[in-house]
Amino acid sequence: MSGRIPEAFIHDLLARTDIVEIIGARLDLKRAGKEYKARSPFTNEKSPSFFVSPQKQMFFCFSSGKNGTAISFLMEYDRLSFVEAVEELAQRAGVEVPREGGRNDRVVMDGPLDALAAAQRFFRDQLRSAQPAIDYLKKRGVNGETAKTFGIGFAPESWDALTTFLQDPKHAVDAGLLIQKDSGGVYDRFRNRIMFPIRDTRGRVIGFGGRTLGNDPAKYLNSPETALFHKGRNLYGLYEARQSSKSNLPYLLVVEGYMDVVMLAQHGVPEAVATLGTATTREHLGLLFKATNKVVFCFDGDRAGRAAAWRALEQVLPEIDGTRECVFMFLPDGHDPDTLVQQIGAEAFRALVGEAQTLSQFLFGELGKQVNLGNMDGRAKLAALARPHLEKLRDGPLRVLMLGELSNLTRVPRADLEAMLKAPAAAEAGPAGGMPGEEPVSTRHRPAGNANRPVRRVMQLLLEDPRLADRIDNLELLAQAEVPGIEVLMEAIDFFHAHPEATAAHLLELWRGTPKGKGVEKLLQQGAEAPVDQEKGPEPELRLILDKLTQKVIKARIQQLFDEERLRPLTAAETNEISILLQKQKGVTQGADGFWSRVAKS
């Protein structure tokens, strides 16, 4: 932002700031008389020589020779510029940074970060006079202090409210705040939405999530992928969670929604973060394990929730070692973290976290549902199913213990299991690396003959017209289809849901240089060889393929439950699941009949 920051403001800002709080959020400070001490963050010393003085509001590092104020520390430790450090402290203090010279009613910006910071202040100010937005937040139980902590705001129901507020649209377009018109000019991306700022680990706003207050079919809308914001590399609430604790976080709870994070924090569980409309990635895990040694994945207890948990397990297996822990928490029917913590409170919620399934319990429990451990063949099958997952584990105590547990379940000596892991995998050993029944991770993005032809064709049709993503239903069932490439297809659908204006080129750019990107390039080339019916468009063909896949998933799951019933009585939940699946099977058929009837008349 242009203009010089007044010296008087900087003095006032430092007076409002507690340097012990700033540094304590980043280092493990110990009381030493009237001061605090820690090991130097700037050298590799073994004994503490870094001191913080609450009285002087300064830090002194005798091993490196560095010293200064809270601003100086942020510049050295967080590698911020002077202006960024001032903005960081101002944001924490809830004040706006004034500028000398050239300040007017519109905001001048020096880059996308400035545009995002200005937009966050604009949305926050708009919330103060937006009664429908205030009423919505009150209805959801959000209080003023929580809204302030998370910087929640409101985007007016206008095409140019933010556009008018900002001076130069270029940086705002780059930041994903404004959309460029084909005819020239720009318009606001977010309209009539509760706004949740998404911060990076340094507290800078890098994107937004917006919850509609109208009848918009896209209930939640995220910022598009930009140079600053990547869904697969950022987590909502991570900055706030780290700020809530002066020491290491006991764990981080991974949930699905913005409101889950907000309400958990308000009710005394601030250690929550949310993925941004995408599955957990290795980059997410890197962020999580930098902040804590324990990750708790929190999912719905239904089939879709367990499928999502399995995808998270796939990602976490190579990241787990003796110092890291991962557990899986499944919620009671009809609840999400938001509603559950409001009903039972923080203490009871934390008790449920303590009862979460360990990684081994979840892994062997899910695999065990496919076999009969009462006979030799079933135990042999369990060993074969577990092999590709155990191969992902790093050498160490966890791998040894999990082999011991598998040995107890299968009655196969651990030495034999070790030998099995070291031996080359037999070609007929079956698929590896995915949700039971899926293809190996290493081959998931490669052509697989006729097996993944339906998915390839759906991807081609989706690339032809990305708007079709909004017309695909039964996603939770589709995600369970045991065909190669289904996971990539679901990622593409998620991307086009989150970016309604995106084209195939946007997806290609997002995945450029990856196996998925090369697959998209090939599909776009092959698409020309299998053209779409120009009269009817791509939707009829897409519907036909997806209906067949969905029906196949439903039939397979119903058959699996019937097979289970021959071995043991079904639980009430499983019986209810059969009823729901039969209803969905009927609904898919009726929906398809209605669609084809409309096509025939058109």
Q: What is the pLDDT of residues 72-93, one digit of tens each?
A: 899 888 878 888 888 888 887 7
Higher pLDDT, 341 or 499: 341
Distance from C-alpha of 262 to C-alpha of 272, rounded to nearest angstrom: 8
Question: What pLDDT was estimated at residue 49?
Answer: 87
Helix/strand/coil for 472: coil
Distance from C-alpha of 147 to C-alpha of 153, rounded to nearest angstrom: 8
Helix/strand/coil for 297: strand
CA dist 213 to 133, 154, 192, 194, 208, Å? 7, 10, 6, 7, 16
Q: Residue 4 gets which letter from DSSP?
A: B
User: Helix 539-567 to helix 453-464 angle, to the nearest 10 degrees?
Assistant: 140
Q: Where are the beta strands (DSSP E) in 366-435?
A: none
Helix runs in 102-218, H state only: 112-127, 131-140, 144-150, 161-165, 169-174
Confidence grade of residue 551 (pLDDT, cut at 50, 70, 90): confident
**CB crowding 252-290: b at 16 or more within 10 Å, else e:** bbbbbbbbbbbbbbbbebbbbbbbbbbbbbeebbebbbe
Question: What pLDDT was estimated at residue 435?
Answer: 35
Higher pLDDT, 210 or 470: 210
Higher pLDDT, 596 or 412: 412
Residue 155: burial class (beta carbons within 10 Å; 0-12, 13-18, 19+): buried
Identify the CA nearest to 564 among candidates 316, 369, 293. 369
Provide the pairing of β-strand 193-199 with 205-212.
antiparallel
The edge-to-edge listing of strands for the beta sheet with 50-53 is 30-32, 35-38, 50-53, 58-61, 67-68
As a 3-state breakdown, the chain gives helix, strand, coil percent values, each rounded to 5, of 50, 10, 35
Distance from C-alpha of 170 to C-alpha of 319, rounded to nearest angstrom: 40
Residue 339: burial class (beta carbons within 10 Å; 0-12, 13-18, 19+): middle
Write out the two tokens for 68: 């200064």
Question: What pLDDT was estimated at residue 436?
Answer: 36
User: In this structure, is the dihedral angle defined by the CA atoms of residues 506, 509, 510 and 516, taken in order, positive or negative?
Assistant: positive
Question: What pLDDT was estimated at residue 521?
Answer: 72
Question: What pLDDT was estimated at residue 522?
Answer: 75
Out of 4-18, 499-513, 526-540, the most confident range is 4-18
Question: What pLDDT was estimated at residue 75?
Answer: 87
Cβ atoms of residues 538 and 464 within 8 Å: yes
Question: What pLDDT was estimated at residue 8?
Answer: 67
Identify the CA nearest to 61 among candidates 40, 44, 45, 79. 40
Identify the CA nearest to 539 among candidates 588, 491, 598. 598
Cβ atoms of residues 443 and 484 within 8 Å: yes
pLDDT at 544 over 70: yes
Cα–Cα–Cα angle for 201, 138, 145, rounded to 5 degrees: 45
Q: What is the mean pLDDT of residues 445-468?
A: 69
Higher pLDDT, 108 or 169: 169
Write out the two tokens for 430: 């079956």
Helix/strand/coil for 530: coil
> What's the pTM value of the predicted model, to 2 decimals?
0.58
Question: What pLDDT was estimated at residue 588?
Answer: 58
Q: Residue 79 gets which letter from DSSP?
A: -
Domains of the chain: 7-93 (3.90.580.10), 112-227 (3.90.980.10), 238-355 (3.40.1360.10), 365-435 (1.20.50), 443-601 (1.10.860.10)
Confidence grade of residue 444 (pLDDT, cut at 50, 70, 90): very low
* Average pLDDT in the chain: 81
Q: What residues contact 574, with CB distance under 8 A and at least 6 apart?
A: 561, 564
Distance from C-alpha of 438 to C-alpha of 416, rounded to nearest angstrom: 26
Lowest average pLDDT, out of 41-45, 115-119, 268-272, goes to: 41-45
User: In this structure, is the dihedral angle defined by the CA atoms of residues 134, 140, 146 and 152, taken in order, positive or negative?
Assistant: negative
Longest dimension (CA), the chain: 85
Task: Give per-residue pLDDT as tens, 141-153.
Answer: 999 999 999 999 9
Cβ atoms of residues 582 and 557 within 8 Å: no
pLDDT at 568 over 90: no
Question: What pLDDT was estimated at residue 102?
Answer: 46
pLDDT at 95 over 80: no
Q: What is the mean pLDDT of residues 470-497?
A: 77
Q: Residue 107 gets which letter from DSSP?
A: B
